Structure 1
Amino acid sequence: MFSSLKGWQIGVLLGIVLVVAGGTYGAIAFIGGPDNANLGADEQLIPVQLGNLINEVSVNGSILFPNRETLVFGSPGSVAEILVEEGMRVRAGEPLAPFDGETIAGLDKAVAQARVSLRDAQYILENFQKASDLEIAQAESKVSNAKLALN
């Protein structure tokens, strides 16, 4: 069949076959689009490589705890027990964590000492006020005597 063809005709025929094959491949590649065309917006095509997969997310910002409260106790000491659990709702004035017996005894002792100090200070104040009345009377007497001496 090809024996009746001349050399230049075989070359032209081969060229036509190559152009048609190349055109077909190009058309399929153009119509098919890139490999990423079937991926979603949050997907990415990554070529396979030998090694460790490292997935990192770096962010900037701060964490807020909107329902966080700081507990403040009026006195230092040890807590005997915790009466509430995480997530429980509490009301103002409700006991949360009472002091242990040793701490309460120490606080009672401090209150007693403060009462004694208050009583002593009140006694000193009363004596000072009484002495002041006496001293004022003596000073008025001296002023009266001095006025009489001048006349």
Structure 2
Amino acid sequence: MPSRDDFGSWLSGQNVPPDETPGTDRLGLPSSGPGSPAPLGRRVVALVVDWAAVSGMSYAFFSYDAGATLGLFFAMNLILVSTVGTTLGHRLLGLRVRRLHTTGPHLVGFGAGAIRAVLLCLVIPAVVWDADGRGLHDKAAGTVIVRR
């Protein structure tokens, strides 16, 4: 009978020696300080801040309609990440979204921002991540969340 190890998984990622921090060498990012990968805790708190902000707007303008809240969340992510690289929560927690493996400005742009926002709103791609700590929404958009 085949085992799970026989099939492998994209989730397991590449083998990383124990003395290396996952996500730094393969992504070409520094291991600490500005530009280093953002820790999961900060990313989750930033998401909660963003959801609280759009929930407040939805409550104020739409009597907290679930569809309006999700639409506002999508619009906020699309517009802010595509143009300035941060949402409200990212800004408060010292994070930003940038393109990976680019030279020059690391602006996300509307194409990658739209892919990222749609997949983020679908939730599942955002909670499934790889060995580098990037969710499927960031992998599909070619982005990474880093410290500012």
Normalised by the length of structure 1, the TM-score is 0.22
Larger strand fraction of residues: 2
RCO higher in 1 or 2 (8 Å CA, sep ≥ 6)? 2
Larger helix fraction of residues: 1
